[in-house]
Amino acid sequence: MEVRHIFREGNHYADHLANLAHEGTDGLLRLPNPPDSLLPSLHADALRHGKLRF
What is the rounded distance in angstroms from the CA atom of residue 46 to the CA atom of residue 48?
A: 5
Would you say residue 25 lies in a domain?
A: yes
Would you say residue 1 lies in a domain?
A: no
Can you give the pLDDT at residue 25?
72
DSSP 22: H
Can you give the pLDDT at residue 30?
80
pLDDT, tens digit, 9 for 90 and up, residues 1-49: 787 777 766 788 888 888 888 877 776 778 899 899 989 888 887 887 7
Positive or negative, the CA dihedral 45, 41, 12, 7 is: positive
Would you say residue 35 lies in a domain?
A: yes
Domain limits for position 28:
8-46
Would you say residue 53 lies in a domain?
A: no
Above 90 in pLDDT, residue 52? no
Instruction: State the pTM of this model.
Output: 0.58
Work out how many domains the chain is built from and give that number: 1
Maximum CA extent, the chain: 37
